[in-house]
């Protein structure tokens, strides 16, 4: 009976026609659907850029207000040849990944412990309630007083902005694990550490990774803000400096640089996610 129920649940995740197909045909249909969606996305982007370029060339919008993609491209080529844009992208990416990595390394274990221990939650929850409402921008003056405007300050800003939301996501993901599964593991003689490692962590991992992807976007907000206030390189510095000179194409180039960099990191993140939780990929 349990096998029949499980089979019925799985078949409801795919269309009926696809469920009746052989595995090879279903895989082919899935690949064709992905290629179709990719082509639609590419067409959408090309159309958007073409309309934007046409509006600029026809003079319907002032280039001071919204420069055309070709102007942004020329600005990007110039900065690339000078090695400026690469330096800015690498500087911002390094600051985000280091600060984000440190916050995750601290918040994930602590969140797992707080999610499974009422005592630890009672100890740390009041502190979390105090720091969680503070926006990342509020930490910038204090971090500059503590650390100056060097790289340590940039890492600290990302850490402070990412730590609290990461901790909240991990605690929530831990508490969402089915308590019946945890109880079954304990009844079978599993130690508390074994339950945490073999049951709670795998069960919470999909929600933890989803939360980390959201917090990664928050980390970019933190570093761009910090670079606008006090930095000599980075995408935030490039955008703010271009604003002072009235260079709108360079402002938009910095924004495009942020979007493309986050897109690349997100693609890498998805590959890591497939390795860490392959059962989620198969279920989808």
Q: Which residues of 17-34 are buried (b: 16+ CB within 10 A; e: fewer)?
A: eeeeeeeeebeeeeeeee
Average pLDDT, the chain: 82
Residue closest to 195 by CA, chosen among 179, 176, 173, 211: 179
Tell me, which fold does domain 68-283 have in CATH?
A: MetI-like fold (1.10.3720)
| Greater pLDDT, 51 or 26 | 51
Extract the tokens encoding 50. Answer: 């073409």
- Whether the per-residue pLDDT at 159 is higher than 90: the answer is yes
- The predicted-structure confidence for 88-113, as pLDDT tens digits, reads as follows 999 999 999 999 999 999 999 999 88
Mean predicted confidence (pLDDT) in 151-161: 90
Give the domain ranges of the chain.
Answer: 1-61, 68-283
- Whether the per-residue pLDDT at 12 is higher than 50: the answer is no
pLDDT value at residue 22 = 56
Give this prediction's pTM. Answer: 0.78
pLDDT value at residue 187 = 79
């Amino acid at each position: 009976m349990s096998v029949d129920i499980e089979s019925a649940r799985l078949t409801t995740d795919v269309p009926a026609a696809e469920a009746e197909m052989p595995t090879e045909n279903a895989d082919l249909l899935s690949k064709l659907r992905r290629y179709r969606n990719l082509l639609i996305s590419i067409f959408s982007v090309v159309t958007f850029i073409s309309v934007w370029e046409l509006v600029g060339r026809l003079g319907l919008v002032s280039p001071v207000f919204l420069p055309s993609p070709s102007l942004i491209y020329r600005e990007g080529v110039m900065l690339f040849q000078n090695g400026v844009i690469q330096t800015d992208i690498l500087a911002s990416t390094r600051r985000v990944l280091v600060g984000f990595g440190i916050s995750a390394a601290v918040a994930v274990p602590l969140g797992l412990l707080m999610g499974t221990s009422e005592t630890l939650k009672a100890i740390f929850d009041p502190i979390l309630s105090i720091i969680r409402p503070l926006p990342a921008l509020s930490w910038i003056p204090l971090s500059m007083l503590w650390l100056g405007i060097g790289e340590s300050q940039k890492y600290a800003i990302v850490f402070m902005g990412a730590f609290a939301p990461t901790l909240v996501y991990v605690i929530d993901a831990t508490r969402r694990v089915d308590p019946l599964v945890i109880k079954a593991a304990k009844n079978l003689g599993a130690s508390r550490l074994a339950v945490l490692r073999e049951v709670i962590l795998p069960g919470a991992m999909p929600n933890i990774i989803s939360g980390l992807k959201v917090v990664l976007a928050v980390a970019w907000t933190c570093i761009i803000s910090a670079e606008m206030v006090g930095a000599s390189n980075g995408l935030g510095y490039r955008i703010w400096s271009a604003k002072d000179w009235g260079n709108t194409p360079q402002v938009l180039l910095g924004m495009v640089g942020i979007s493309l960099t986050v897109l690349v990191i997100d693609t890498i993140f998805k590959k890591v996610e497939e390795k860490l939780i392959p059962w989620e990929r198969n279920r989808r």
